[in-house]
Amino acid sequence: MNTLRTPDDKIRAVLMQRSALRQMTCEQLLRLGISQVVYLKSGMCDGEMVFLLYRADGTPIVATDNVDAAIEAAADRGLNFVNLH
C-alpha cells in the first residue's frame, strides 16, 4: 500500500496526477469517463468573452462570463478540472 506520509508526498502525488491528466489524448479522456473529467474553453459570444465547461466527450455543461464560476460549477458537480493547452 502506498501511503502519503508527508505534505511533500501529497504535493508530489497531486502534481503527478495533474501531469498525467494533461498528457492524455482525447481518446483516453473519453475512456476516463464523462462523469469524472471536464475541460474549459474560452470564446466570444455576441462580442463578450465566455467560458464554456465541457464533459470529456465534448458535451457542453456550463457557459459563464468568468473562469471562477466555471470552475465552481465543475466542483459543484464533483468533477475534476483539467486545464488543456
83 has a pLDDT exceeding 90: no
Could you tell me the pLDDT band of residue 78, with boundaries at 50, 70 and 90? confident
**What's residue 22's pLDDT?**
79
Gap between the Cα atoms of 46 and 58, Å rounded: 22
**What's residue 6's pLDDT?**
75
pLDDT in tens, 1-50: 456 577 777 777 777 777 777 787 877 766 766 667 788 889 998 999 99
Full-model pTM: 0.55
DSSP result, 11-73 = HHHHHHHHHHHHT--HHHHHHH-TTTEEEEEEEEETTEEEEEEEETTS-EEEEESSHHHHHHH
Give me the mean pLDDT over the 69-73 stretch.
87
